[in-house]
């Protein structure tokens, strides 16, 4: 038996944040019925390259364990079909522009079901920000993430994936599961609302708290950490390596291996606070030593001593590392290899039952 066996989700979502959430719930055993626009489907079906055969890998990445139904919500017949689907559902998930589902008579209030869990995801909420477009890149910009990412203040950089969408999808899962637990106890559903902007502000954790608690407005530091050193990317003889030294003991061990034990007692570097204050000098001194050997040498030498480090892998090498650690990073459905769900449950493990649906299915 799966964790969410018997839970039915009417999935009116598209693109990434909400489809990621419904896929995670599908992996946990829920029945997910994806509602798509006739003849077109989810926008990400056309977002390629890359492709797997004739299908966009973007769409395939967040739509397994779902069936698909084409419904024209602009017609009364389509809206009636949608209401029939919702009537047998436990959960509705949607991420249309705020007000769209209300226009169709399919919003939480219009449906009037006390036992329904209804999750709405928007870019900037359903109030004053309702008309703002909820694109991940835009939220990274206006939400502050790009202001702390990149080499300097005039070179803001987005993350390499739509991270805000993914984080919002995960928060949506938490909200939906909490609402289902409450319904189990009381018989009552509820409206679950998320917006990309406040999810991002919450997910910036220490950077956000530095502002709310101390009035500190963080700036971009490249690959450095505002509160820890050495904690950044360093050059080696062949490729970049990351050092993530989190305490004084680790720093002393690092200095010993690099044959510069005197740095551990240097007044500029004795404590973490000292090292953060003098991070530029520390970087130069450590870089000279690290350039002497390849990254793999340092990884194999420092890791057994408890000094966190590792080469900067590409995605292929990252999957290879996970496989070498027996972490099973992929899952197979038929002849399709997808990224595995990272949640491991001892009694009700995730399952991979359905490949991402083709539009005609």
Helices (H), the chain: 17-27, 57-60, 76-87, 100-103, 108-111, 136-142, 163-186, 196-203, 205-214, 248-257, 272-277, 279-290, 295-302, 315-324
Contacts of 161 (CB under 8 A, 6+ apart): none
Strand-pairing partners, residue 192, are: 119
Query: Does residue 70 contact residue 36 with C-beta atoms inside 8 Å?
Result: yes
Q: How many CA atoms lie within 13 A of 142 on its CB side?
A: 13
237: annotated active-site residue:
no
Q: What are the φ and ψ backbone dihedral angles of 169, each rounded to 5 degrees? A: -60, -40
Say which DSSP state 49 is in.
S
Contacts of 143 (CB under 8 A, 6+ apart): 164, 196, 197, 200, 201
Q: What are the φ and ψ backbone dihedral angles of 113, each rounded to 5 degrees? A: -105, 115
Q: What are the φ and ψ backbone dihedral angles of 233, each rounded to 5 degrees? A: -95, 135
Rounded to whole angstroms, how far apart are CA atoms 22 and 66? 8
Short-list 206, 224, 216, 211, CA closest to 276: 224
Adjacency order of strands within the sheet including 231-234? 231-234, 241-244, 309-311
Name the one residue in this structure whose structure tokens are 């999750």.
119
Short-list 199, 153, 156, 149, CA closest to 174: 199
Strand-pairing partners, residue 241, are: 234, 311
From 42, 107, 136, 165, active-site residue: 165
Q: Give the strand pairing for 66-70 and 31-36.
A: parallel
Active-site annotation, residues: 165
């Amino acid at each position: 038996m799966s964790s969410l066996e018997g839970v039915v989700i009417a999935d009116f979502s598209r693109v990434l944040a909400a489809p990621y959430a419904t896929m995670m719930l599908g992996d946990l055993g829920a029945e997910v019925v994806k509602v798509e626009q006739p003849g077109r489907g989810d926008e990400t079906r056309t977002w390629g390259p890359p492709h797997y055969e004739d299908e966009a890998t973007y769409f395939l990445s967040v739509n397994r364990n779902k069936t698909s139904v084409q419904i024209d919500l602009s017609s009364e017949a389509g809206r009636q079909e949608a209401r029939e689907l919702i009537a047998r559902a436990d959960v509705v998930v949607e991420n249309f522009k705020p007000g769209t589902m209300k226009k169709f008579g399919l919003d939480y209030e219009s449906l009037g079901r006390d036992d329904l869990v209804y999750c709405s995801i928007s870019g900037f909420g359903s109030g004053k920000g309702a008309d703002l477009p909820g694109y991940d890149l835009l939220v990274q910009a206006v939400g502050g993430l790009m202001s702390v990412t990149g080499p300097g203040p005039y070179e803001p950089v987005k993350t390499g994936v739509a991270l805000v969408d993914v984080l919002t999808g995960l928060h949506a899962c938490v909200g939906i599961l909490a609402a289902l637990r409450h319904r189990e106890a009381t018989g009552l559903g509820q409206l679950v609302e998320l917006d990309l902007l406040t999810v991002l502000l919450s997910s910036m954790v220490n950077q956000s708290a530095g502002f709310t608690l101390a009035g500190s407005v963080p700036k971009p530091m490249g690959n450095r950490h505002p509160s820890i050193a050495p904690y950044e990317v360093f050059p080696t003889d062949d490729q970049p390596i990351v050092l993530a030294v989190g305490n004084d003991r680790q720093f002393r061990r690092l200095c010993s291996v690099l044959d510069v034990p005197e740095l551990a007692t240097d007044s500029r570097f004795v404590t973490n606070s000292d090292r953060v204050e003098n991070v530029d000098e520390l970087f130069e001194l450590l870089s000279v030593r690290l350039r002497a050997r390849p990254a793999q040498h340092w990884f194999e030498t420092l890791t057994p001593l408890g000094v966190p480090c590792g080469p900067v892998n590409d995605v292929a090498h990252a999957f290879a590392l996970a496989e070498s650690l027996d972490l099973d990073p992929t899952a197979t459905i038929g002849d399709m290899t997808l990224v595995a769900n990272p949640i491991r449950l001892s009694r009700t493990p995730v399952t991979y039952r359905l490949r991402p649906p083709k539009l005609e299915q």
